[in-house]
Amino acid sequence: MTACRCQFCSAPLAPAQEFRFLVESDAGTDPAYLARIRHLPAAADGKPLRVCDICQRAMAAHPLRFRLAAERAEAKRQLRAGMLAAAGLLSAGWFLGLVLGGTRV
């Protein structure tokens, strides 16, 4: 079984932190229920972040630094997804060009 890792330092989460993340991410969208159980910091979209105890304490002390780091990580994920989509479209176009285009002399 693979352990969850912290989004910021890549350290394995303690069992309690991993359980909190799993419960909070599976709690649904009921804001009243989430307000009662919320322990982990949340991203801008309201989803809980996978953070270890050390990063959570540092996040409480310096929230702006971690918010900027979370925004940079999201931008990297979007760029990576865009690059993968572009590579997929190019390879699909190349393959279709070979199949439908026939041979050229």
Residue pair 8/51 in contact by the 8 Å Cβ criterion: yes
Amino acid of residue 88? G
Cα separation, 31 vs 8, in Å, equals 26
Question: What is the chain's mean pLDDT, rounded?
Answer: 80
Give the three-class secondary structure for 46.
coil
pLDDT the model gives residue 37: 64
Domain extents for the chain?
15-101
Residue 1 has pLDDT above 60, yes or no: no
Rounded to an integer, the average pLDDT of 68-81 is: 81
pLDDT one-digit tens code per residue, 16-28: 888 888 887 776 6
Residue 36 CA: distances (Å) to CA of 6, 33, 62, 99: 23, 5, 24, 58
pLDDT the model gives residue 99: 87
Cα separation, 76 vs 84, in Å, equals 12
